[in-house]
A = this chain, B = another copy of it.
Amino acid sequence: MKIGQDKSVSLSAAVKKYVFSGCHLSIGGFTINRNPMAAVYEIIRQKIDDIHLYAHSNGQGVDELIGAGCVSRLEIAYAGSGRFAPTCIRFKKAVQSGAIAIEDYSNYQMTLRFMAGAMGVPFLPTRSSLGTDIIEKWGFSKQMRANDSRLPNEKLMIMDNPFGSWGNAPKLVLVPAINCDVTILHVQKADREGTVRMEGLTFSDIEQAKCAKHVIVTCEEIVTSDVLKANPDQNQIPSFCVDAVVHIPYGAYPTACYRYYDYDPAYLNAYRKNAENDMRYSTYLEEFIYDVTDHQALLNKIGTEQLNAIAADPRTGYAVGLDRR
């Protein structure tokens, strides 16, 4: 926790400092929007492995981290990239082959788990999933949980409503808080001290930031504090929650960043084809991640023509008429 300081650093320095083998990591964004992709690629380049990963509905970021072998355990509600991969391909292969351990929750449960961490309570209650296998089947066994102090002893618990008939909810599912080592978000604007402004839907990014020991924010633009303070109703995360601010234009690419650029259908379609074949996926990793020095080098490889094609229309915030086949 640092207050009032200039926290702007390079992406490689931020990842080196806060992301480590075996760390508990959560990444923001949803399916194909505002995934912190530049950071994901940097984690892959730094070959950080054995990550315990948390997300609610994350597609591209989760799939690339898994595909590159960075992840050993995953707690998630949904691994999909919309129409481009309704089930993420490398995720699917990894779960089917037993290469990663997975714990399934619902989207709201994951949101509540981040929120519980943000609120500083050990659990939050919900009525979701009563009667389902989300309650019955535990991806992480009781024994695995008992042996790992960084995991709650229970996936979740059912409890009778202690207030009797109050609220007309006889039973509650209690889901345990997530308190992860580091959360990485990609946002539209931040100042050097770490105050964050997201535009459009915020998903669960705010809760994810506030439940983590450390927060890396990558952003499209670094603006002055005065720019943010002129409209403080539109800012969401205070600077004292943030440890590192990284200026990375197109930092969510190939996923979208509302009002800046759209997702790149060409990249995502090519990714899907590559992901379906292990050999081709190795080549993809080499060519698009390991062999490029940083995110700018990836963007150079993609080229301005493609980046221009996904540029957001100022009226709507996305690329009107983009060829999305």
Contacts and interface: CB of A to CB of B under 8 A. Distances in A.
Interface of A: 116, 119-127, 152-154, 157, 159, 161-164, 166-169, 172, 174, 176-177, 179, 199-200, 233-234
Given A127-B120, A200-B233, A163 B152 contact: yes
Contact of A167 (B125, B164, B176, B199): B176
The 7 A-B pairs of least Cβ separation, nearest first, read A122-B167, A152-B166, A121-B125, A122-B163, A122-B169, A122-B166, A167-B177
Contacts of A169: 120-122
Nearest to A161: B122
A123 B163 contact: yes
A166 B177 contact: yes
Contacts of A199: 233
B167 A179 contact: yes
- Chain B CB count within 10 A is highest, among A125, A157, A176, A234, for A125
Contacts of A234: 233-234
Given A127-B120, A233-B199, A154 B159 contact: no
Contacts of A124: 124-125
Nearest to A157: B162
A87 to B, nearest CB: 30
B122 A123 contact: no
Nearest to A175: B163
Contacts of A176: 163, 166-167
A320 to B, nearest CB: 17
B174 A122 contact: no
B177 A162 contact: no
A125 B123 contact: yes
A163 B173 CA distance: 12
Contacts of A121: 125-127, 167, 169, 172
A166 B149 CA distance: 9
Contacts of A177: 166-167
Contact of A153 (B125, B127, B163): B163
A166 B167 CA distance: 27
Given A120-B127, A122-B161, 20 more contacts: A116-B167, A121-B125, A121-B126, A121-B167, A121-B169, A121-B172, A122-B163, A122-B166, A122-B167, A122-B172, A123-B161, A123-B162, A123-B167, A124-B125, A153-B166, A157-B162, A159-B162, A163-B174, A166-B176, A167-B176
A226 to B, nearest CB: 13
A157 B163 CA distance: 8
A200 B121 CA distance: 28
A126 B122 CA distance: 9
Contacts of A161: 122-123
Nearest to A202: B233
